[in-house]
Chains A and B, each alone.
Chain A
Amino acid sequence: MSKYLDKSIEELHKLLKSKKIKPIDLVEEAFDRIEKNKDLNCFITLNKEEALKKAKELENLEVDNLFFGIPIAIKDNICTEGLRTTCASKILENFVPIYNATVIDKINEKHMIIVGKTNMDEFAMGSCSKTSYFKAPHNPWNFDKITGGSSGGSAACVSGRLVPLALGSDTGGSIRQPSSHCGIVGMKPTYGRVSRYGLVAFASSMDQIGPMTRNVLENAELLNILCGKDPKDLTSTDKKEEDFTRFIGENIKGMKIAVPNYFVSDIVSSEVRDKFNEIVKLLKDKGCSVDYIDIDYIENAVTLYQILAMGEASGNLARFDGVKYGYSYENPKDLEELYTKTRQIGFGDEVKRRIMVGSYILSGENANVYYDKAMGVRDDIKKSFEKAFKKYDFIIGPTTTTEAYDINEEFNDPSKSFLDDILVIPVNMAGLPGLSLPMGFTNNHLPVGLHIIGNFFEEAKMYKLASFIEKELKLNLDPRGGKDE
């Protein structure tokens, strides 16, 4: 079997353009790799038949853009017309949308080929992908480790080189945290940068779709085609079209970087902190200034997230009631039983827990005590970040506090799972863009990520810094370690 899929997108584009290869070569290779790595459990649904058919059809078309004929994997909470979209939940086990998410339309316009829908935490609720109704995916770097989550399947299939590109979604770190654990590049764009139409909502004011890729350049290239104002999503922003790759390769000398003290406090393992400190040293060596600063309220971000995201989720997930679509409890004795049994059987524990917490938080007087107050503090966090960005180009820190933990580790304390996202959640509270980039390996040879936070709509600038560091580090990010499959 050929190894085209180890090549860069630009190389593949040249080969396709010069007719040295055909899209079907890439699709067949992708399914071959997926098949050989099915133990990783990256996918919930494969789109093999359709993908092969589409690859064949593309042979009659001109190779008109960089992504023409390139295979891509889609997180299973993004609606794909005619292709099952489960959100890794029993309640949507047989749900086949009759419409595409806006990002899927954009991908189809570029003639990319969707190979399948990736595994994830149920309704994106979790940070290890273990809440999936279809069992957790495994980390390509170490089968016994978690992928992180909730976009665990997307991270693992890119990391394992099964597919060059994937889409994830990030409500409280769900793109960046698994990207860190799996050693890939993951971008959560500014809230409003990418249309949410067709993304099954978890917490509407935080959800954002983003690219997950093997390297920085391909990440920027993929974001180029995803973003834009969408009349179907009122929260999407009208911004001038731009090329996110345009600063890549430029020097970073003189850039002002801030490190929040909280991000290097003892909540972070010493091993991860050491890796991060090496990056700080590198940046200083290359002429950047690095200051340690305090950002007010970021230590409250997880608490706010629990209140606001759960509240919104309790509303967003109310529609799954067995009346219109999805799993429906059979022969209920009355309406009440249809509702309670459908939801009791259809949802997993974590989802039910979050719906209950969210409902409680919004009930009666609690709405004022918790929800309104949290919205106020959320504004304050945003203002703290805005203040910092008046002075600094970037805010950086580690993406995760530790390396990926054992997949069999039981987590009895549900609140602990939120602590996995303690460093990435503040970004969602403020709506800022955040990117995770591999910054090295732990002693167990597990990748850990650097978290770059940019100012609103400054993704292009973030790619410049990320790409510079990537080039300096020259990490071998192929978990197969150069071995033959």
Chain B
Amino acid sequence: MNNYKTTVGIEVHAELKTKTKMFSNSANHYGKMANTCTNVIDLGYPGTLPTVNEEAIHLGLRAALVLNCKINKHMHFDRKNYFYPDNPKNYQITQNRTPIGVDGYVLIDTENGKKKIRIHDIHIEEDTCKSIHSDKSSLLDFNRAGVPLVEIVTEADMNSAEEAVKYLEKLRELLLYADVSDCKIEEGSMRCDCNVSVSKTDKLNTKVEVKNIGSISNVGVAIKYEEERQIALYEKNETFKEQTRRFDDKTMSTILMRVKETGNDYRYFPEPDIPFIDLTDEYIEETRKNLPMSAEERRNIYLDAGISKVNVEKIIQNRTVSDYLNKFIGKINLVIASNLLLGDVAAYLNKYEMKLEDTKLTDEKFETVVKYLDSGKINSKIFKDIIEDIMENEESIDEILENHNIKEMGEDELIEIINNVLENNTKSVEDYKNGNERAIKFLMGQIMKETKGNANPVLVTTKLEEMLNK
């Protein structure tokens, strides 16, 4: 069974995060009441004409750039003709001959190092309606009709479910961090269709297209299922026709939708209602220059700052955290800052189901509190005590500390406490002087206990060492 080689190619549709639709000015909103974000253009009424959403072209260009594509500077749209109720004009406006980007690639990490997954092309097109089927009838929601999409088509470069999953995770990260799409598979703003075949030789066998896969991990499940299913057929000396199957997440299997009889005849022709679009070199360079910082760049900055690998990945997983953290690069200790954001701050937000921007945590307060933690002016225990105040009150960190009666202990008071501790722990002092380094830790703990955490630990250490060595 192991001598079969799997080949996978993937088509991803990602909805662009635009304010309005691709070819009309109705709103591009997910989750609104059915058929409230639509107009006569989206409905394909006679006599209506498309206009081009420049924001969508811009986002499409960004996507093409982060996928390392060559850009078609002189591009147009084409009509793809097919009859289906979710396709209001019975043709879809897409790009067939001049996709915005061609010949790109995405690098993924594999056991054998980096692997290049080639991108055949990325093109801009309009989404269809959402069909809602019931027993007796089918309903159409035109809110989705005309939403701008990019379709990203790979070459058949992946050879396992794992590679496919890695590609999709990487692609999702690239699109998310380029602010192209929110890539929410569960809301349908990112959709994956996989073409899977298995073969004992280098010659590719019949491919099977799997649609309707609701998560990246299920893409892996679907591909594994197909590998096994197809190998089992070949082992029984059975052949099959090219076909489209859908993934069923209840049974975690693929189910036949239709067999492809002949190649699809979409009768493409250039869209006469939309003139050619010219992307100038200046515009392309400007767009490239203004791309938001990629996940890869962010990783490097965080690792250089000393954040642990685990935490770096946690930050990258959460774009909001990463963006927030980036505001403080070069200003504060990023390790402390990220620990707060992933730890106490995240816990607080989870507890109250809030977003960072809904709290009273200003950039200034965050900067101050991280600096205080860094210098030892406060410790993490104090931070835990005052976090609710920080998040809920307008007051500054200093005011909050004052309200809690937390003030840094004066030097005289500290020396008195240290003296007391040393006098009451002569055994440990002895141990220290005999070279037992651990004794100092014990003494530190005693002092901190006495100061109720109000002393600056850095100062305590200095003073303690000074007095022990006297």
Contacts and interface: CB of A to CB of B under 8 A. Distances in A.
Interface in B36-93: 40, 43-52, 79, 81, 83, 85, 88-91
A204 B272 contact: yes
5 contacts: A79-B46, A101-B47, A204-B272, A318-B81, A339-B83
A101 B52 CA distance: 19
Interface residues of A, number: 45
Q: Which 8 A-B pairs have the closest CB atoms?
A: A318-B90, A362-B267, A205-B272, A204-B272, A198-B47, A200-B46, A79-B47, A319-B44
Which size bracket describes the interface of B in this complex? 20 to 34
Contacts of A79: 46-47
B43 A367 contact: no
Interface of B: 40, 43-52, 79, 81, 83, 85, 88-91, 140, 263, 265, 267-270, 272-275
Given A315-B269, A367-B268, A367-B269, A200 B49 contact: no
A204 B91 contact: no
A332 interface: no
A482 interface: no
A359 B267 contact: yes
Contacts of A233: 49
B87 to A, nearest CB: 9
A234 B79 contact: no
B91 A312 contact: no
Contact of B90 (A200, A205, A321, A362): A321
B90 A232 contact: no
Contacts of A146: none
Contacts of A302: none
Nearest to B268: A367
A184 to B, nearest CB: 25
Contact of B269 (A78, A101, A196, A362): A362
A364 B265 CA distance: 6
A457 to B, nearest CB: 16
B321 to A, nearest CB: 41
Contact of B89 (A101, A203, A235, A318): A318
A468 interface: no
Contact of B81 (A77, A92, A204, A362): A362
A230 to B, nearest CB: 9
A297 interface: no
A99 B273 CA distance: 19
B47 A97 contact: yes
Contacts of A333: none
Contact of B49 (A196, A319, A359): A196
Nearest to B277: A234
Contact of A318 (B43, B83, B272): B83
Given A234-B274, A359-B267, A315 B79 contact: yes
Q: Is the interface of B mostly helix, strand, loop or mixed?
A: loop
Nearest to A233: B49
B51 A98 contact: no
A337 B306 CA distance: 67
A355 to B, nearest CB: 11
B81 A314 contact: yes
Contacts of A369: none
A101 B49 CA distance: 11
A441 interface: no
A319 B46 contact: yes
Interface in A335-370: 335, 339, 359, 362-364, 367
A374 B51 CA distance: 26
Given A311-B269, A359-B267, A323 B47 contact: no
B52 A234 contact: yes
Contacts of B275: 234-235
A371 B47 contact: no
B51 to A, nearest CB: 6
A85 B88 CA distance: 20
Q: Is the interface of A mostly helix, strand, loop or mixed?
A: loop
A199 B83 contact: no
A105 B52 CA distance: 22
Contacts of B52: 234
A325 interface: yes
Contact of A314 (B263, B265, B267, B270): B267
Contacts of B49: 196-197, 232-235
A234 B91 contact: no
B441 to A, nearest CB: 74
B47 A197 contact: yes
Nearest to A123: B46
Given A231-B51, A233-B49, A362-B269, A318 B91 contact: yes
A95 B269 CA distance: 28
Given A201-B273, A315-B91, A319-B89, 16 more contacts: A79-B46, A95-B46, A97-B47, A197-B49, A198-B47, A204-B273, A234-B275, A235-B49, A235-B273, A318-B83, A321-B83, A323-B85, A339-B83, A359-B81, A362-B81, A375-B270
A99 B83 contact: no
A352 to B, nearest CB: 15
Nearest to A311: B269
B44 A324 contact: yes
A463 B357 CA distance: 65
Nearest to B79: A315
Contact of B85 (A231, A312, A335, A364): A335
B51 A232 contact: yes
Nearest to A338: B85
A318 B127 CA distance: 18
A290 to B, nearest CB: 36
A96 B300 CA distance: 61
B90 A319 contact: yes
A324 B273 contact: no
Given A318-B83, A324-B88, A364-B265, A197 B272 contact: no
Nearest to B81: A315
Among B50, B81, B91, B270, the most chain A Cβ lie within 10 Å of the Cβ of B81
Contacts of B274: 234
Contacts of A235: 49, 272-273, 275
Contacts of A87: 46
Contacts of A199: 47
A319 B49 CA distance: 13
Nearest to A92: B46
Interface string A279-320: 000000000000000000000000000000001101100111
Contacts of B265: 363-364
Given A318-B83, A318-B89, A99 B268 contact: no
